[in-house]
A and B are shown apart, each in its own frame.
Chain A
């Protein structure tokens, strides 16, 4: 078969118009340049759209031909390997398939898929590394934000007794009392099982036996059991990698805006999981969840200005709306 091409000898930038002759003896000839080589000695570039394809000859000679259909026919006639990628790209069904696969994959990873991956990674990470990490975090918090607790001996003992029951002999769980004027009423759990409770939250308690604080501690234990902080870190990573890869150039906005939305919805799910854990533990111990609802009520009174029922609020806040949570704990109170 004869194919029109341009020849560059690889020594200079001169361009020559030539005709390639593919003969039945599996040889390629260019008479004008005295080239006569075996078909096996040349490399025909894979097809890419309708761009001219490079045909590499020995000795650095290259030819370029835009006669793509003829070249494909040559490959077919001589039983040479043909790249399959162009076949996928030129098939309407397969490109549409690629679109759906990509959209589906991104959607899956941003919703459920990241969860599986994060769970998997969280489970194979050794506990010792989690402990080391938590120890350092607590140390940094102590240096910067936390102060020594000012709770009375009685308060301390009651809450510690609750926690002992909750931990149920598992030495992983340790309770740390701290005062945190800057953070305010809060409690948080580190992946190692260290749980920090602030005096400011204890001060909001309306129950003398601190059964509401028991609920909070059960909630935090839920975070530890489910490895929420680690899962969160992994998910954020996955989300930003995907969004960054797909959007390419506009990554500046594209990777921050959705990450914030995704993150807050992730953590809302995590809070719900931890709440469910708290309800379970409290029921097991025979403590009514109404105390938890009451604690949230006093919390929400303190933060009335921050929370409201607007859609913006519910989309952006990382905790489920307080009113939603109050209802949840009330519904389990009986």
Chain B
């Protein structure tokens, strides 16, 4: 009997132990379930080149027929197309800019530029032209601030617009300080300025009541610049070496033929060959480098940015983005511009589809409502092709 009760006790204690182990296993499983913690979702781009081509070419034709006035509507239409085809977690983005406001901005910018040209080129009154340029220069930080605000407040997702709250005074502070710092250090401090600028932009950006935060460090930016420099140099060196070997090989085999050939065609063919070489290699290289750099920095900014602690992720392969950029440039050149919409979409699609965001709750953001503001800064930046990198 005693033995039996002891056995039962034993069984009970065993059962308890088993239960303990089971709960432990459950806990562990919970932990492993939580381990990938972030549920990353990739951005999707659903637009296609033929649809976008039609929008683009009709935009240009209508702009020509209206002597440029339609260009404001054209800008809204092509941006709307790109935003509306960008999806995250099944919902798409919205572009809300008002074409009339864009038109006003454009008229202001173009008139200022025309006045400037008139005074410099035809009236030859450099003092007047100089003061226009000087005013534009002084207004630059304010205009950049405006352009950033324009881009954010006109973008919304699920009917909640983005917002920008950076102060004009911080922009003046930034540009004055970093203008001089870069002059003094011969641009060596540029990566530091880059990080500071990204902080100025992103740390003041909001999606509804959500806050963006950029935590990239200066060291990272320097590391990226060094990597870009090293890889680009190696690539150039490799290509030069490759062609050098081929050239030397050809020279050795056909040496005599080549010299007589040269005297036959005359010296003017040499600059032509050099020109062809530049076109075939150097120009694609510039565009490759542009995409390569963009790839590195886009990844960097994505990795270091969070929205209410939910992280973004960048998985762009810089080399591949460079190849896309270079082949795009060639396609645009050889199609006399007609492949521009195809190229634009190809580049954008690659970048978006290698960007992910891990948000636990897409419903959590409260809207601060839509606001309107000046468009001059945006149009100035647009007109002079200034890349503020958003």
Give A residues with C-beta under 8 Å from B: 6, 8-15, 48-52, 54, 60-62, 64, 85, 88-90, 94-95, 97-99, 101-103, 105, 125, 129-130, 132-133, 136-137, 230, 233, 237, 245-254, 308, 310, 312-313
Contact = CB atoms under 8 A, between A and B. Distances in A.
A49 B341 CA distance: 14
Given A85-B77, A102-B61, A253-B283, A129 B54 contact: no
Interface in B274-332: 283, 286-287, 328-329, 332
30 contacts: A8-B158, A8-B159, A11-B367, A12-B364, A13-B160, A13-B362, A14-B158, A49-B52, A49-B55, A49-B85, A52-B84, A60-B159, A61-B159, A62-B159, A85-B58, A98-B58, A98-B60, A98-B62, A102-B64, A129-B122, A132-B123, A137-B124, A246-B340, A247-B337, A249-B340, A250-B333, A251-B385, A252-B286, A254-B333, A312-B272
Nearest to B74: A85
B366 interface: yes
B51 A49 contact: yes
Nearest to B87: A52
Interface residues of B, number: 57
A209 to B, nearest CB: 38
A282 to B, nearest CB: 32
B121 interface: yes
B122 A125 contact: yes
Interface string B96-128: 000000000000000000000100011110000
A98 B60 CA distance: 8
Given A62-B159, A253-B333, A13 B208 contact: yes
Contacts, number: 145
Contacts of A64: 92
B268 to A, nearest CB: 5
A249 B58 contact: no
A133 B58 contact: no
Contacts of A125: 122
A313 B58 contact: no
Contacts of B80: 48, 51
A133 B122 contact: yes
Contacts of B65: 101
Contact of A48 (B81, B160, B208): B81
B366 A11 contact: yes
A51 B58 contact: no
A8 B160 contact: yes
B55 A89 contact: yes
A89 B85 contact: no
Contacts of A97: 61
B363 interface: yes
B158 to A, nearest CB: 4
Contacts of B54: 49, 89-90, 95
Interface in B175-218: 208
B170 interface: no
Contacts of B94: 54
A245 B385 CA distance: 11
Nearest to A92: B54
B369 A60 contact: yes
A121 to B, nearest CB: 10
B365 A12 contact: yes
A82 to B, nearest CB: 15
B123 A133 contact: yes
A278 B205 CA distance: 67
Interface of B: 47, 51-55, 57-58, 60-62, 64-65, 77, 80-81, 84-85, 91-92, 94, 117, 121-124, 157-160, 208, 266, 268, 271-272, 283, 286-287, 328-329, 332-333, 336-338, 340, 343-344, 362-367, 369-370, 385
Contacts of B272: 312
Contacts of B64: 101-102, 105
A245 B92 CA distance: 29
Given A95-B58, A312-B271, A15 B123 contact: no
Give the interface SS of chain A, mostly helix, strand, loop or mixed: helix
A252 B286 CA distance: 10
Contacts of B47: 49, 51
B41 to A, nearest CB: 14
A254 B53 CA distance: 20
Contacts of A129: 122-123
A51 B337 contact: no
A308 B265 CA distance: 12
Contacts of B60: 98, 102, 245-246
A252 B325 CA distance: 14
A176 B271 CA distance: 38
Q: Which of A11, A51, A97 has the most CB of B within 10 A?
A: A51
B195 to A, nearest CB: 26
Contacts of A11: 366-367
Contacts of B84: 48, 51-52
Given A137-B124, A253-B283, 14 more contacts: A12-B366, A15-B91, A15-B158, A15-B362, A51-B80, A60-B370, A98-B60, A102-B57, A105-B64, A129-B122, A233-B122, A247-B337, A249-B329, A308-B266
Contacts of B159: 8-10, 13, 60-62
A246 to B, nearest CB: 5
Contacts of A253: 283, 333
Nearest to B341: A248
A12 B160 contact: yes
A317 to B, nearest CB: 12
Contacts of B157: 13
Contacts of A95: 53-54, 57-58
